[in-house]
Amino acid sequence: MDKRGIDVSSWQGVIDWDAVKSSGVEFAILRSSFGSPSPSQVDNQFYNNVKGAQAAGIPIGAYHYGYAVTEEEARNEAGFFLDTVKGIRFEYPLYYDVEDSATMWSLDRDTLTKVIRAFCETVEKAGYYVGIYASLNWLTNKFYPDQLPYDVWVAQYYSEDQYDGHHGMWQYTSGGTVGGIAGKVDMNIAYRDFPKLIKDKGLNGWGSGESGGSGGSEEGSGGERDDRLGIGHCVADVLNVRSGPGTDYPVVYQISTGNMVDVLKISENGWLQINCLHGVGWCAAQYIQWSPFESQQPPIGIGRCTADVLNVRTGSGLDYPAAFQLSQGNMVDVLTASGQWLQINCLLGSGWCASQYIDWFRTNLQVPAIGVGKCTADVLNIRSGPATDLSVLFTISEGNMVDVLEDNGRGWLRIRCLLGTGWCSAQYIDWSRHDK
């Protein structure tokens, strides 16, 4: 049975994924990255979209927008793509987006075909179900899709799908509208049951024959990972990874800022044995920000970034280096609050950031919430009881997130946020119940 879905990137801004789900969207393909390896080339909404879509129960795939004009560049882009998606499980394919008119268009058909093959082979060998995204024009005139044994996602904005080559998905418009997304969005039809196909083959991070869900096997593209001590990311601009735990061992490869790694061992001299896309090796522990699995504490709250760009640092102060950056709207778990700093965890990793740029509320309090919402007023008074003649305890601002603890049925809500607990007019809180 055909399924209808969307593909999105940072161009769609912050997405309300629950509303997207309610609109009938059955899957989403998310842009992860574009071009050559660099932290700035990761789509600034990718990890937020992964978390939001998965929380809403929407199956996902991903795509990388290509610029490569040589096979070597394509393999480098593929490595970057794999680093970006590492640790995430996908029910839909990982696609190479072939459409850039400023770079790829100048290539002849043979060369572009080889470039695409180099990218797709690299991703496929890492244990993923791979596809190619291209327009009908490019598929017909710019490369040889019949020489590439990969699934095709064709873009053709017409009343019917006219591509007669093998393909599993059709992008039929760029002007769709979906609840939870401001502006236009690409709409697609998937012809194949990709989730079953991918899970049955044990690809995209799923163990062979795994039925799905948040649990199950930890076996991914790199095989068994039961021996991992933890997971982390590189905080150096360029980090030498060596064949043994010391500078007298030869360099086997290099990683850069933001590259994700599995931590396998700790040597007596403080070096870490790591595993990543490039293989297993040793590096100085000071350049890897990581958390042991056994020490990862449950979050004390949840929040979102309010800054355009927010540095997340290796420690609680400006003198610590930035490990990665968040963008406005990115969701985080709050692990620790210490003065003006928060220790947070997200899909990019763990670190510390200034608390003033995270709008958050505590979730581990004893009083259960009946729902969650956000303030819609410029300034909203929170009072000691459900009446305007009662004292104001504090105020919250537009966009502040709250737990809803009680609805008295007469236009007042008892809410909880970082500043405390109190009552406010229900008309200024956009909220939904947990049981709906």
15: DSSP letter: -
Total count of residues recorded for the chain: 436
* Confidence tier at 364 by pLDDT (50, 70, 90): low
> In Å, how far from its chain's centre is CA 131?
19
Q: What is the pLDDT of residues 49-82, one digit of tens each?
A: 998 899 899 999 999 999 999 999 999 999 999 9
- For the chain, percent of residues with pLDDT exceeding 70: 88
- At residue 109, does pLDDT exceed 70? yes
Q: Measure Cα distances from 248 to 107, 220, 240, 241, 274 in Å.
A: 44, 33, 12, 12, 18
What is residue 354's predicted lDDT score, i.e. its pLDDT? Answer: 92
Q: What is the mean pLDDT of residues 190-216?
A: 74
* Confidence tier at 226 by pLDDT (50, 70, 90): very low
- At residue 211, does pLDDT exceed 50? no
Residues 118 and 240 in one domain: no
* Confidence tier at 249 by pLDDT (50, 70, 90): very high
Q: Taking all residues of the chain, what is their mean pLDDT, rounded to a whole number? A: 84
Amino acid at 90: F
What is residue 216's predicted lDDT score, i.e. its pLDDT? Answer: 32
390: DSSP letter: S
Determine the 3-state secondary structure of 392 from DSSP.
strand
Q: What is the mean pLDDT of residues 366-392?
A: 82
Residues 410 and 335 in one domain: no
| CATH number of residue 390's parent domain | 2.30.30.40
Which of 30-34, 203-207, 230-234 holds the top average pLDDT? 30-34
Residues 394 and 304 in one domain: no
Distance, CA of 343 to CA of 353 (rounded, Å): 7
* Confidence tier at 215 by pLDDT (50, 70, 90): very low
Where does a domain end: 183, 200, 217? 200
Residues 287 and 381 in one domain: no
> Tokens 């290539």 sit at which residue?
107
> In Å, how far from its chain's centre is CA 327?
12
Q: What is the mean pLDDT of residues 21-25?
A: 92
β-pairing, 230-234 vs 238-242, is: unpaired
- At residue 296, does pLDDT exceed 70? no
Residues 42 and 155 in one domain: yes
- Inside any domain, residue 215: no
Where does a domain end: 338, 361, 384? 361
* Confidence tier at 221 by pLDDT (50, 70, 90): very low
146: DSSP letter: G
- At residue 1, does pLDDT exceed 90? no
- Inside any domain, residue 244: yes
Residues 15 and 117 in one domain: yes
What is residue 74's predicted lDDT score, i.e. its pLDDT? Answer: 95
- At residue 273, does pLDDT exceed 80? yes
Q: What is the pLDDT of residues 142-180, one digit of tens each?
A: 999 999 999 999 999 888 888 988 899 999 998 888 999
Distance, CA of 310 to CA of 235 (rounded, Å): 15
Residues 9 and 132 in one domain: yes
Higher pLDDT, 69 or 13: 69
What is residue 227's predicted lDDT score, i.e. its pLDDT? Answer: 62
At residue 304, what are phi and psi to the nearest 5 degrees? Answer: -140, 150
Other beta carbons less than 10 A from residue 391's beta carbon: 9
* Confidence tier at 291 by pLDDT (50, 70, 90): low
What is residue 433's predicted lDDT score, i.e. its pLDDT? Answer: 77
What is residue 39's predicted lDDT score, i.e. its pLDDT? Answer: 67
Other beta carbons less than 10 A from residue 232's beta carbon: 23
Q: Residue 349's domain spans which residues?
A: 297-361
Amino acid at 335: L
- The tally of domains found in the chain comes to 4
Higher pLDDT, 432 or 65: 65
Residues 187 and 46 in one domain: yes
Residues 402 and 287 in one domain: no
Q: Find the range with the poorest average confidence among 158-172, 223-237, 270-284.
A: 223-237
What is residue 361's predicted lDDT score, i.e. its pLDDT? Answer: 67
- Inside any domain, residue 180: yes
What is residue 218's predicted lDDT score, i.e. its pLDDT? Answer: 32
Residues 284 and 397 in one domain: no
- Inside any domain, residue 220: no
- For the chain, percent of residues with pLDDT exceeding 90: 40
- Inside any domain, residue 86: yes
What is residue 224's predicted lDDT score, i.e. its pLDDT? Answer: 35
* Confidence tier at 290 by pLDDT (50, 70, 90): confident
- At residue 304, does pLDDT exceed 80? no
Which of 8-22, 104-118, 260-274 holds the top average pLDDT? 104-118
Residues 35 and 170 in one domain: yes
Q: What is the pLDDT of residues 315-362, one digit of tens each?
A: 888 888 887 788 887 777 788 887 789 988 776 667 899 988 887 766
What is residue 336's predicted lDDT score, i.e. its pLDDT? Answer: 83
Higher pLDDT, 436 or 378: 378
Residues 84 and 195 in one domain: yes
* Confidence tier at 418 by pLDDT (50, 70, 90): low
* Confidence tier at 140 by pLDDT (50, 70, 90): very high
